[in-house]
Amino acid sequence: MNIKDIIKEEIIKSLSKMDIFEAMVDLEVPSDKKNGHYATNIAMQLASSLKQNPMDIATNIKEMIKNDEYIEKIEVAKPGFLNFFIKKDKLFDVIEEVIDLGDDYGKSQMGEGKRINVEFASVNPTGVIHLGHARGSAYGDNLCRILSFAGYDVTSEYYINDGGNQIDNMGISVKERYRTLCGLDEHMPEDGYYGEEIIDVAKDIYREYKEEWLSKPVECFKDYGLNKLLTIIKNDLLTFRVDFDVWTSEKKIRQDGRIEESLQKLSDLGKTYTEDGALWLKASEYGDEKDRVLVKNDGEYAYITPDIAYHLDKIDRGYDTLIDVLGADHHGYVPRLKAAIEALGYSKDKLEVKIVQMVRLLRGGEEIKMSKRTGNVVTVNDLLEEVGIDAARYYFAMRNIESQMDFDLELAIRKSHENPVYYVSYAHARVHSLLKDNKTQKVKEYKTIDSEYAYDILAKINEFKNVVELAAEKRLPHLITNYVYDLANALHIYYNHEKILTKDFQYTNERLLLMTAVKIVIKNALNLIGVEAPNEM
């Protein structure tokens, strides 16, 4: 149990003495150090129900807290905050804990092994990974890393949209490009795909078979193109440090009869009706703005129908929670998908949908297009060639995905404190250079460290597990990025104010132990956002 949990437990004990048992106690780290190491507004939360002045409630709670092992003092501040100051010698306990746990420091059992499926990226295999996909891929992968670290049983999943009209059009597009290479007239479909990668697939076929495939049906071109493009997508994602536990095929969902099964289940539950020759879902009964077509009057499935079958398939696999990471153009799709989940007899809260907003690429303040392949989209490979994997992963993790993002290329490669990924990476490399040629010994008591800069680092290290849990609970990986930047900042400030290596062994040893803890936590935090911690810069 860390210090924050100890304080929270003391507050809960005090509230129980006031016959309050269901209050949500939130502890925050004040931005102003004058307000202590931790603060809570619980008194203000209770003021209305207790019909008391929050200052009086806060004072009452304060007087009932007797833990003087960890707490130096408690202050009541207007309009009803409780500010907690931790005994400085207790802050040092975290150093040994970090060093002993190493890569496991910050891990939590908050998730209690609950099974979560996170489906993300899921780019249609008709093209390549572009900038928007990259942001969603980074978010999904970061979320999986954080949830796993917080004690959840996580499955990362990619849904291959290899059924339906878009794949048919891809196959036709490849065949027409191939026909052109054979010297025949090209007849691209109206909804055809014109990317350079489609031409590359056609060239591969021509290189291998020459004119032998002219008599082949579109299905052959579709299968060849699907395998080729999916391989490219998988390789691009792996280069971006994104791997998946499960790859699920829409085509297989269809072949296994899951669509008919889900339609039958909805019908048996009385959630469908027929009108104008089409089958409809009673989506409006579950919060959607209107009912939705499931099967069109020509017998074709509507866009949502295979998705309903796919989500039922995931539910049947026993997941407690499903998380879908979707692009900004899917915002209106969420209510109808949740309505379908609820119509199937499950809580709509079983499905969480995270919408990833768009990314603008900037250089010198100007929006740019930099693709070498398609001319109108930026691919993940274009980005990685420009800034590198670590910078790309870090920058995508910096912002809440619900807000549009500006990605500044010039800043991302700048070797200065203005560039956050460089600033954090340099902190790790700086500590590594101190430690690589110096041995440390454990100590029972820290006798020589007594600076506010060191205490700031210790307080920040103590926060790590709580930040991990909050990031997992709120599904907000950018909280990890904010945290590691603040820790790096605390390290740089300390380093610039205090000498670390001296001829005094005890003095140096204590500081090197502190630096060791900093290094471990920076590395653990960066790993949660898919960024490597460099030993040299």
Query: In a structure prediction context, what are the per-residue pLDDT tens digits for the chain, which is 537 residues long?
Result: 678 888 989 999 999 999 998 888 988 888 888 999 999 999 999 999 999 999 999 999 999 998 778 899 999 999 999 999 999 888 999 999 999 999 999 999 999 999 999 999 998 899 889 888 999 999 999 999 999 999 999 999 999 999 888 899 999 999 999 999 999 998 998 889 988 899 999 999 999 999 999 999 999 999 999 999 999 999 999 999 999 999 999 999 999 999 999 999 999 999 999 999 999 999 999 999 999 999 999 999 999 999 999 999 999 999 999 999 999 988 889 999 999 999 999 999 999 999 999 999 998 888 887 544 444 678 899 999 999 999 999 999 999 999 999 999 999 999 999 999 999 999 999 999 999 988 899 999 999 999 999 999 999 999 999 999 999 999 999 999 999 999 999 999 999 999 999 999 999 999 999 999 999 999 999 999 999 999 998
Of 166, 200, 206, 207, the residue nearest 184 (C-alpha):
206
Contacts of 439 (CB under 8 A, 6+ apart): none
**pLDDT on residue 534:** 97
Q: What's the CATH fold of domain 100-110+416-527?
A: Isoleucyl-tRNA Synthetase; Domain 1 (1.10.730)
Spatial distance between the Cα atoms of 537 and 532, rounded to a whole number of angstroms: 12
Give the residue carrying structure tokens 């996170």. Answer: 118
**pLDDT on residue 42:** 96
Phi, psi (degrees; rounded to nearest 5) at 161: -80, 75
Structure-derived torsion over alpha carbons of residues 111, 117, 121, 123, reported in degrees to the nearest 10: 180
Q: Are 229 and 138 in contact (CB under 8 A)?
A: no
Burial class (CB in 10 A: 0-12, 13-18, 19+), 110: middle
Contacts of 482 (CB under 8 A, 6+ apart): none
Opening angle at CA 46, ends 45 and 47, nearest 5: 100
Whole-model pTM: value is 0.91
Opening angle at CA 220, ends 216 and 226, nearest 5: 155
Helical (H) or strand (E) element with 474: helix 452-474
Spatial distance between the Cα atoms of 354 and 345, rounded to a whole number of angstroms: 22
Q: Are 81 and 40 in contact (CB under 8 A)?
A: yes
Burial 193-214 (b: 16+ CB within 10 A, else e): bebebbbbbbeebbeeeeeebe
3-state secondary structure 269-289: CCCEEEECCEEEECHHHHCCC
Contacts of 120 (CB under 8 A, 6+ apart): 136, 137, 139, 140, 141, 143, 156, 157, 158, 324, 325
Q: Are 247 and 158 in contact (CB under 8 A)?
A: yes
Strand partners, 130: 379
**pLDDT on residue 1:** 60
**Domain-by-domain residue ranges, the chain?**
3-86, 100-110+416-527
Q: How many CB atoms lie within 10 A of CB 139?
A: 26
Q: Determine the CATH number of domain 3-86.
A: 3.30.1360.70
